[in-house]
Each structure stands twice: as structure tokens, then as C-alpha cells.
């Protein structure tokens, strides 16, 4: 249940309204938007008489029931788009932020060469996996803590903010200097990890699980935001369907729906969604066309020799060409790239 307050209500009145509900056993979310201030109740609101609650309060303009279980990430509760700022870069409505880099960090030379090149092409954030979740225990598992050190060195040399995947909560300290913590598809419902990154004061890139619904993705984001960290970027990275010709199926309607349902930024990952290099540029352009706030694209200085996901990685020239095409389209969409 959400109460929309009259404009310019004094803070003391809002505080006493909130504490009244909290004394009755409800939790609350206060959302101060540009158009209005809202107070959302969390708890057994089925027992609350909405009309009575509105009529008996001098500060409430109107109220409505929220059917969705997610509240903090719900656009109905929080009207303004969340724009995430990281190292001078913005992610959210009005921007098309491109994150690029290799699937995994292989060596300092490799990550530096890729970083300098994608930066020249105007990617704003560098990606690179240090801890890799692989289906096979025999596959390359990433450079791990050493890989994070390589990323930090490259961040110092280029100034690019870094995103890298965390696999479990024991790794939190290692990520101290990493700008954005990624939760991968396989960990989307690792609730202990979600609660832990909810305590961080840095952005979290939350990827949709291979077989998770849009609702479940929003509930996972709710875990992080309700734990105190409002800086969540959602990522549609393809879901598993009956189709075998692509690695996954990019669910573009999820991008559109997510933008409607939540105020959080939504990006797409055309690399893991397709698994095929030639599909990446068209899907990247499609993501921009349906309203994504950005993309994450895998790039490599030598895709044929990549230790992970070479078949879906663009080489550095292909990435530059894609960026040229995206820049034209971003201007049409009135988004800053
Ligand atoms: C990745 O981005 O490196 C990755 C492993 O992706 P996903 O979790 O979407 O499979
Ligand atoms: Mn990958």
C-alpha cells in the first residue's frame, strides 16, 4: 500500500505519520520524488482499510494498493528514474552506457590493451571476469584475486570504472576497489549474497538467471535495495528456451517490461544472450531501440585465442564499428552515449 502525500508537508508530520504505522508493526519506505512524496507500507496491509487511512490523515492526498511483492524497486512507490553515478559515468534513463571488455581477465597486457582500445571507442566502463562461473570444473576458472589486481592496475592507468563478478560473500573484501560488483546469472537467487551486497555502498550489476522470470529478477533486486543499497543495475542476458541455434534467447520484451515496472536502470548483454559474434551488433542495436539504458559487450584483442567465450567476443575493430553505429542511433533516441 502506498500513500501519496500532499505537496510541501512538513518533515515532522511525515515522521509522525511513519512512526504511527511502524508502531502498528509495519515497515515503511519513504520516497521523495520530484513530483510527490510517497510512503509505502510493508506488512499485512490486507487488514488496513485504505479509505479510512486516507480520510483520517491530514497529510495524505490519496492511497493505492500495490499488488506486486516488490516495493522498493517498484515504479509506483518510487517515481523518479534511478540514475547511478560511478566514477564520472552515469547509468540510467537518458544515457546509453556501454560496458565492454573480455569475458575473463587473462593477463595484465591483455586487459590493458583491450581497455585502451574500448576506451578510445567510447566505452565508459571496463568489464573483466576474475572469478569465472564455468559449467565444467575443468574449464578455465579465471585469474581470481590476481585478476582483480590486474583490473585495479588498469583502472589506475585508464581511469575506467571496473565491473567484475563476485561469486560468494567471502570475496566481498577483495572487491573493495572494484567500482561495480556483478552478480552473475547463476547467482541471481543466491539470497545470502544478495543480502550481503545490499550492505555495500557501491553499484551492483544484477544479471537475470537463465531460467528466471522477470518477477523473480525484480524480487532479487528487492533483496539488495531493501537491505539498503539502492544502486542496482538490472541486466537481461538471455534466457534458456527450446532454441539451440543460439546460446540463449535475448528477451527484449523483458527490457521493455522492466523499464515499465521499475525505476532501476536496465541494460542488455547481447554477448551471452546469443553466443555468436555476428549476432552481437544487431542485438546491441535492438536493445537500444527498445529502450535499454546500456549494454555489456564482450570484446577481445584476439578472440580466436580467448580463454573464455571467444566465439561471442567482438574483436577491437568490430567493437569500434559497433560503437560508431550506436552513436548515430543513440542521438536519434536522445540518449547520451
Ligand atoms: C559474465 O558476464 O561474465 C557471465 C558469466 O555472464 P552470465 O552470468 O550472464 O552467464
Ligand atoms: Mn562470458
Nearest-CA residue for atom 4 of ligand 1: 184
Phi, psi dihedral angles at 54 (to 5 degrees)? -70, -45
Nearest atom, ligand 1, residue 309 CA: 3
Residue range(s) occupied by CATH 3.20.20.70 in the chain: 84-332
Q: Which residue puts its alpha carbon closest to atom 3 of ligand 1? A: 103
Is-above-0.85 flag for pTM?
yes
189-226 confidence digits (pLDDT tens): 999 999 999 999 999 999 999 999 999 999 999 999 99
Of all ligands present, the nearest one to the C-alpha of 129 is 1
- Report in angstroms the alpha-carbon separations of 151 from 126, 132, 176, 178, 185: 9, 14, 12, 8, 22
Domain 84-332 fold? TIM Barrel (3.20.20)
pLDDT digits (tens, 9 = 90+) for 58-77: 999 999 999 899 999 999 99
Model confidence band, residue 162 (pLDDT cutoffs 50, 70, 90): very high
Which ligand does the CA of 134 lie closest to? 1
- In this predicted model, what pLDDT tens digit does every residue of 24-52 receive, in sequence order? 999 999 999 999 999 999 999 999 999 99
Pocket of ligand 1 (CB under 6 A): 103, 129, 133, 165, 184-186, 207, 237, 272
Residues in the chain: 337
Backbone angles phi, psi at 127, to 5 degrees: -105, 160
Q: How far apart are CA 268 and CA 95, in angstroms?
A: 13
| Closest atom of ligand 1 relative to the 269 alpha carbon | 9
The DSSP symbol for 267 reads E
Q: 114 CA distance to ligand 1 centroid (A)?
A: 18
- Spatial neighbors of 92 by CB under 8 A, at least 6 apart, are 81, 82, 83, 84, 265, 293
Q: Which ligand is nearest to the CA of 280?
A: 2
CATH 3.30.70.1140 positions along the chain are: 2-64
Which CATH superfamily is 2-64 part of? Phospho-2-dehydro-3-deoxyheptonate aldolase; domain 1 (3.30.70.1140)
| Alpha-carbon dihedral sign for residues 128, 134, 139, 142 | positive
pLDDT of 55 reads: 96
Amino acid at each position: 500500500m502506498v500513500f501519496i502525500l500532499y505537496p510541501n508537508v512538513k518533515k515532522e508530520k511525515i515522521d509522525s505519520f511513519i512512526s504511527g504505522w511502524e508502531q502498528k508493526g509495519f515497515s515503511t519506505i519513504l520516497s521523495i520524488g520530484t513530483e510527490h512524496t510517497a510512503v509505502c507500507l510493508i506488512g499485512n496491509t490486507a487488514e488496513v482499510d485504505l479509505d479510512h487511512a486516507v480520510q483520517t490523515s491530514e497529510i495524505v492526498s490519496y492511497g493505492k494498493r500495490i499488488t506486486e511483492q516488490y516495493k522498493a524497486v517498484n515504479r509506483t512507490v518510487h517515481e523518479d528514474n534511478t540514475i547511478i553515478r560511478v566514477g564520472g559515468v552515469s547509468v540510467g534513463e537518458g544515457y546509453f552506457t556501454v560496458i565492454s571488455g573480455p569475458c575473463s581477465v587473462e593477463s595484465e597486457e591483455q586487459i590493458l590493451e583491450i581497455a585502451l582500445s574500448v576506451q578510445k571507442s567510447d566505452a565508459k566502463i571496463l568489464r573483466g571476469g576474475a572469478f569465472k562461473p564455468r559449467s565444467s570444473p575443468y574449464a578455465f576458472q579465471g585469474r581470481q584475486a590476481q585478476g582483480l589486481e590486474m583490473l585495479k592496475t588498469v583502472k589506475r592507468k585508464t581511469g575506467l570504472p571496473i565491473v567484475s563478478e563476485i561469486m560468494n560473500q567471502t570475496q566481498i573484501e577483495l572487491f573493495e576497489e572494484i567500482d561495480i560488483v556483478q552478480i552473475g546469472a547463476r547467482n541471481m537467487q543466491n539470497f545470502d549474497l544478495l543480502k550481503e551486497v545490499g550492505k555495500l555502498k557501491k553499484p551492483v550489476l544484477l544479471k537475470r538467471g537463465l531460467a528466471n522470470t522477470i518477477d523473480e529478477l525484480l524480487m532479487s533486486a528487492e533483496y539488495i535495495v531493501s537491505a539498503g543499497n539502492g544502486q542496482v543495475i538490472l541486466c537481461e542476458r538471455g534466457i534458456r528456451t527450446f532454441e539451440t541455434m543460439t546460446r540463449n534467447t535475448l528477451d527484449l520484451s523483458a527490457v521493455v517490461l522492466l523499464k515499465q515496472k521499475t525505476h532501476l536502470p536496465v541494460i542488455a548483454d547481447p554477448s551471452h544472450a546469443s553466443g555468436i559474434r555476428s549476432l552481437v551488433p544487431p542485438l546491441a542495436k535492438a536493445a537500444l531501440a527498445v529502450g535499454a539504458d546500456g549494454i555489456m559487450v564482450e570484446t577481445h584483442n584476439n578472440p580466436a585465442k580467448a580463454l573464455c567465450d571467444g566465439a561471442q567476443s567482438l574483436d577491437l575493430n568490430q567493437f569500434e564499428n559497433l560503437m560508431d553505429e550506436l552513436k548515430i542511433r543513440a542521438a536519434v533516441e536522445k540518449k547520451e552515449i
